[in-house]
Amino acid sequence: MAAAGEKRGILPGWRSLGAALALLAALCGGNSVERKIYVPLNSTAPCVRLLNATHQIGCQSSRNGDTGVIHVVEREEDLPWVLETGPTPPYMVLLEGHLFTKETLLKFKESPRISGIAVMYSKPPPAEGFSMDLPCPNDGFGAYTSDHGSQYSHCNGTLWNPLGSGMSYEDFHFPVFLLQDENETEVIKECYMKHNLPGNGSAPQYPLCAMQLISPMHAVTSTVTCMRRNSIQMSFSINPEAVCDTLTDYNVWSTVKPVNISGPAPPDDQVVISAARLDGRSFFWNLAPSAESTVSALVTQLAAAEAIHKAPDSQALPRNIMFSFFQGEVFDYIGSSRMVYDMEKGKFPIRLNNIHSFVELSQVALRNNSELWVHTDPISRSNESVNTEVEQLIKYLKNSSVGTNVTLQENDQSQPLPPASFQRFLRVRHIPGVVLTDHRRAYSNKYYNSMYDTPESIHMNYPSGLSKDEALNYVTEAAQSLSEVATLLARTLYLQAGGNNTAGIQADVKSVTRMLYGFLVMSNNSWFQSIIKPDWKGNLENKPPQYYVTASLIGRTQSPNPPTSFVIAVLANLTGQVVNYTKEGCQSPDNAAEPKLYEYLWVQGPLNDNSTTRAPYCVRTTLRSYLAESPAFELNEWDSTEYSTWTESRWKEIRARIFLVPSYELEVITLIVGIAVLLLSFGATYFINAKADILFTSVQDSSGSVAY
């Protein structure tokens, strides 16, 4: 298949010979000009290669891209054409979204007649659900290992993502792209209908509409292999070029009471941790809308942080509360394993034995009958003192749910935890804690880690005709529901921290509304514009952010990816104080008062009255962010089974285009004619050169002689 693609790739070079083309145009009615036109596809998402300690997954094209005749596969009945009967392989399959299944992909994988796949969105999303993640996500990297509840490992007991096909973790030897723009899909379909549609069962006539998908990958085999190649490059090459990068971005955390980061917290300082994850994924690169799987918890936790900061006695609580946002959790818990590692190694101001308890929010937007499920860890609860603390925590949760529209439900004690960052903490210490979700057993989310995990899937529906600013403040059903959960979380954390008057603690539905809009619909809104750092304003876009963790370019410092920069902006806005500092005072922390306790953010500010300039200001906050790279890379344990080893291959270019190809015979004729013309022109040049004196100078002479 790859060979065929390359063979076709050589010919256009010959074809570009002007003379050959001109001759050919004369020979076959002048359609060669049309044939040369490439139409680039401008809105696609590729599947790329990722690697872990032992495997490579994802997709790649051959070096110059793979080409094939387009065939639209919209129904099962269209499959035999591309797999068996079609006369012009290899085929580029334009695949209808609902056929993008494990079954079809495995057939394509085995067939030498398929050179690549361009997938269309299924509209509406598949009602039966769609997830290409594993049925047992993050297996092997959570708490349930041979030393801690091995009876629960491999999701024994509860399969969390039964709809998961696992295709995101398969290795494909051809390119797979997602077509993100319906209008472009229409352009391709039109080309197909005009040129490729098999008429009356007979073979379609050349020229045919073809597609080229270009996504060659530099890294192969595994992280061990690519990191070794990276380090050889780094030590011996003058112009080092890595072949793969680690999946890395920033963890974000903040505390209600400021923490002195220049040394360890005193051993008797106790901290209640509230956690949520910051990232998601899908089969395709940098495509992860993650509405339910990530944003539901993220936004809820931000709203709870705001509510607690507003409580009058929040600074006087006996225990501190830490809000943490973990990055790269989808890829075997990169962020949480980093924090636990730093806590163990004394590189984090809060230590493991400062942790009083742990509350984690997982997916919470799809509550059935307003039920919120409490999950606990049966292994740590077998310790009497831990169990007492867990029971106390559940009591607080129940008290906090009174008066909210949340029905708190306790899960069976014998059921293990769903995949959660908390599991990384339980791996090293028996900490009392809970994980809150909208599902009792299997996920309520039918689209876990897929491109269909969109705002619509969590009931965020806006009436048509709203302006941007109206939509920003339009309270959806989802906003209402999540603010109830945020109120419950805020009250619970407040009680856990030793507070006793929850009456005034209430999440602000307006904040939740604006966050949902910014995190799921459009980050380029007036609120995000006013609270972001000027350096990061390029992250604002008129479309939803994507929650893919991104790769850290080895040897370069990196700024946070867009969603992380928004979390930092929002958290600072909702929990920080505006201080009267100049730009210089704000940006150089050493000039600021108490630099070890606070971070200072210079933000763009709101528009002035004339709407042309902004009024920037300084915000003082307890939030911090730090690079969350898997400890496996600091330890140079590239084959680690303890820490995440995921890396992303580098590539030179990713591109897709369509064009018309002539028949193979025609290409051969073109080639022969081309060579003939070339030889002819060599001959002519030789002849002209050799006889140049006769052909040119003699004309002058003769004209001269005629003049006389």
Ligand X SMILES: *[C@@H]1O[C@H](CO)[C@@H](O)[C@H](O)[C@H]1NC(C)=O
| Footprint of ligand X (CB under 6 A) | 39-42, 52-55, 57, 169, 181, 183-184, 187, 199-200, 260, 262-263, 383, 385-386, 430, 524, 527, 530-531, 540-542, 573, 576-578, 580, 594, 596-597, 606, 608-610, 612-613, 619, 641
- Dihedral pair phi/psi, residue 87, rounded to 5°: -85, -5
d(CA 559, CA 600): 17
Among residues 413, 418, 407, the alpha carbon closest in space to that of 443 is found at 418
Residue 128 CB, nearest distance to ligand X (Å)? 24
To 10 degrees, what angle do helices 477-496 and 509-520 make? Answer: 120
Q: Rounded to an integer, what distance in angstroms lies between the CA atom of residue 130 and that of residue 448?
A: 7
Sheet containing strand 249-255, strands side by side? 407-410, 371-375, 433-437, 355-361, 271-277, 320-326, 249-255, 624-628
Least distance (Å) between residue 653 CB and ligand X: 16
d(CA 561, CA 521): 17
Tokens for 611? 């709407």
The smaller minimum CB distance to ligand X, of residues 404 and 561, is found at 561
Nearer CB in complex with ligand X: 98/657: 657
Please say which residue, 186 or 701, places its beta carbon nearer to ligand X.
186
Pick between residue 491 and residue 514 the one whose CB is nearest to ligand X. 514
CB-nearest residue to ligand X: 199
The alpha carbon of residue 529 and the mean position of all alpha carbons in its chain are separated, in whole angstroms, by 23
Q: Which is nearer to ligand X, 289 or 674 (CB)?
A: 289
- Other CB atoms within 10 A of residue 221 CB: 12
Three-state SS at 214: strand
Q: How far is the CB of 490 from ligand X (least distance, A)?
A: 18
- Euclidean distance between CA atoms 649 and 243, whole angstroms: 6
Contact 370, 405 (CB under 8 A): yes
Nearer to ligand X (CB atom), residue 26 or residue 352: 352
C-alpha separations of 442 from 159, 459, 605, 700, 704 in Å: 6, 20, 44, 93, 99
- For every residue of 552-564, DSSP letters joined together read EPTTS--PPPHHH
Shortest gap between Cβ of 525 and ligand X (angstroms)? 8
Cis check for the bond before 616: say yes or no (omega within 30 of 0). Answer: no
CB of 14 to ligand X, least distance (A): 25
CB of 650 to ligand X, least distance (A): 19
Strands (E), 215-258: 244-247, 249-255
- In the complex with ligand X, the residue whose CB is nearer, 431 or 677, is 431
Nearest distance in Å: CB 422, ligand X? 15
* Closer of 336 and 437 to ligand X (Cβ): 336
Min dist CB 387 to ligand X, Å, is: 9
How many other C-beta atoms can be found within 10 angstroms of the C-beta atom of residue 671?
17
What is the token pair recorded at 38? Answer: 């490439």
DSSP lists the bridge partners of residue 244 as 649
| Minimum distance from residue 254 beta carbon to ligand X (Å) | 13
Kindly tell me which of 156 and 383 has the beta carbon lying closer to ligand X. Answer: 383
Neighbours of 231 (CB within 10 A): 15
Tracing tokens 């030179």 back to the chain, one arrives at 652
How many other CB atoms sit within 10 Å of the CB of residue 334? Answer: 30
Which is closer to ligand X, CB of 405 or CB of 587?
587
Q: How far is the CB of 288 from ligand X (least distance, A)?
A: 18
* Cβ closest to ligand X, residue 584 vs residue 609: 609
Select from 244, 324, 326, 358 the least CA-distant residue to 629: 326
Give the nearer residue to ligand X in terms of CB position, either 498 or 585: 585
What whole-number distance in Å separates Cα of residue 298 and Cα of residue 276?
6
> With respect to ligand X, which residue has the nearer C-beta, 538 or 555?
538
Query: Which among 446, 407, 434, 168 has a CA at the least distance from the CA of 293?
Result: 446
Q: Residue 132 CB, nearest distance to ligand X (Å)?
A: 12
How far is the C-alpha of 140 from the C-alpha of 155, rounded, in Å? 10
Long-range CB contacts (< 8 A, 24+ apart) of 75-82?
75/99, 79/104, 79/107, 81/198, 82/111, 82/113, 82/114
For tokens 């009680």, the residue is 495
Q: DSSP state, 122?
A: P
| Smallest separation, CB 182 to ligand X (Å) | 6
Q: Least distance in Å: CB of 42 to ligand X?
A: 4
Q: Taking the CA of residue 344 as centre, how many other CA atoms within 13 Å lie in the half-sphere pointing to its CB?
A: 13
Q: Which is nearer to ligand X, 418 or 576 (CB)?
A: 576
Q: How far is the CB of 458 from ligand X (least distance, A)?
A: 23
Shortest distance in whole angstroms from residue 573 CB to ligand X: 4
Query: In the complex, what is the shortest distance from the CB of residue 22 to ligand X, in angstroms, rounded to a whole number?
Result: 25
- Spatial contact of 296 and 363, defined as CB atoms under 8 Å apart: yes
Please report, as a single letter, which amino acid is at residue 462: Y
Torsion angles phi and psi, residue 147, rounded to 5: -90, -10
For residues 579 and 532, give the distance between their C-alpha atoms in angstroms, rounded to a whole number.
16
Name the residue nearer to ligand X (CB basis): 1 or 167. 167
Task: State which residue, 242 or 619, has the beta carbon closest to ligand X.
Answer: 619
Judged by beta carbon, residue 186 or residue 412, the one nearer ligand X is: 186
- CB of residue 171 vs ligand X: minimum separation in angstroms? 8
State the Cα–Cα distance between residues 256 and 271, nearest whole angstrom. Answer: 10
Distance of CA 356 to the CA centre of its chain: 33
Task: Specify whether the CB–CB gap between 282 and 119 falls below 8 A.
Answer: no
Q: Which one, 373 or 566, has the nearer CB to ligand X? A: 566
CB 471 within 8 A of CB 544: no
CA dihedral 375, 379, 385, 386 (to 10 degrees): -40
Closest distance to ligand X from the beta carbon of 646 (Å): 8
